[in-house]
Amino acid sequence: MISILELTKTYGVGGAAVSALDHLTLEIRDGEFLSIMGPSGSGKSTFLSLLGLLDRPSSGQYLIDGRDTVSLSDDELASLRAQKFGFVFQAYNLMPRYRIIRNVELPLIYAGVERRERANRAEDLLRMVGLGHRLSHKPTELSGGEQQRVAIARALVNGPAVILADEPTGNLDSKSGQEIMGIFQQLHQDGKTIVLVTHEPKIARYAGRTLHFLDGSLVREEINT
């Protein structure tokens, strides 16, 4: 359960200060599939960064399972982030010099997991996303859709409760995009909480609830059926 109260993020100081996120209050239930829409500059990416503990809010409260995150140290944030969140980016953000299995193992290396267990978990997840036969390929040898599937496997490898996806289909053709959304739907059915930022209404409708952002504020909320 995620509770957000009056969360604000301001960039710059004094008169030049710009609120990227303006007193946002929100609750995200466990297992919910949430999509966020809005034009660029509406604060949706800032919100996702704050949600994923990649950035600190200027003010407000952010509780994860009742635990306040604002007062945590950088390292505490890092370990909470690693346990709780998996990230999927628009540009996949795979490490081009590593084979895909190593890309998926990367979070486990920082979590200090044994080699054998790491390989097993990464392989299982790559199989799950349909890439079991390409473990030793470099990311550049894969199509965009395949790369994004590697990124999803990587996001899942630590067993996080929440998947944060920033325009995951933004760089993909519609067919690959649909495949990716199929995986997200599956993850949702498996009980993962999913927060997905997009500017495509068709993609947003996969979620149970869509939030519309404008100028750093939540302006509209719709329940998809």
Partner 1 sequence: MKLDDLVQLVGDNLFAHRLRALLTVLGITIGIAAVIAVVAIGQGSQAVILSELETLGNSNSFQVTVDTSQGEAPTVDTFNLEDANLIKELSPAVLEMAPISFSSMVDLRLPQSLEKPLMSQLVGTTPDYASSANLTLQNGRFLSTADVSAHARVVVLDADLAKTMFGDSDPIGRQIFIQDNPATVIGVLQQQTSLLGAMNLHYTYVPITFAQDILNSRVIYELSGVAVSKDVLPQAMADSIKILNNRHFASTVHYTAQSMEESLGAVSNVTSVITMVIGAVAAIALLVGGVGVMNIMLVAVTERTREIGLLKALGARRRDILQQFLGEAVALCLVGGFFGVVLGAGGALIVAFFAHWPPLISGWTILLAFGFSATVGLFFGIYPASRAAALSPAEALRTL
> What residues line the site for partner 1 (CB under 8 A)?
49, 52, 54-55, 74-75, 78-79, 81-82, 87, 89, 93, 95, 97-98, 106-107, 109-112, 154, 158
Q: How far is the CB of 202 from partner 1 (least distance, A)?
A: 26
Q: How far is the CB of 107 from partner 1 (least distance, A)?
A: 4
Q: Which is nearer to partner 1, 55 or 222 (CB)?
A: 55
**What are the two backbone dihedrals, phi and then psi, of residue 44, each rounded to the nearest 5 degrees?**
-70, -35
Q: How far is the CB of 59 from partner 1 (least distance, A)?
A: 17
Cα–Cα distance list, 55 to 68, 81, 128, 187, 213 (Å): 15, 11, 31, 26, 19
Q: Which is nearer to partner 1, 18 or 219 (CB)?
A: 18
Distance, CA of 184 to CA of 26 (rounded, Å): 22
Q: Are 82 and 111 in contact (CB under 8 A)?
A: yes
Both tokens of 66, joined, read 């009742």
Within 13 Å and on the Cβ side, how many CA atoms surround 45? 10
Q: How far is the CB of 115 from partner 1 (least distance, A)?
A: 8
- Closest by CA to 216, choosing from 5, 2, 4, 18, is 18
First to last CA, the chain: 22
Q: Which is nearer to partner 1, 138 or 205 (CB)?
A: 138
Q: Which is nearer to partner 1, 74 or 190 (CB)?
A: 74
Strand partners, 64: 2, 67
Q: How far is the CB of 169 from partner 1 (least distance, A)?
A: 19
Q: Which is nearer to partner 1, 113 or 142 (CB)?
A: 113
Q: Which is nearer to partner 1, 141 or 221 (CB)?
A: 141
Within 13 Å and on the Cβ side, how many CA atoms surround 4? 22
Distance, CA of 49 to CA of 63 (rounded, Å): 15
Q: How far is the CB of 220 from partner 1 (least distance, A)?
A: 26
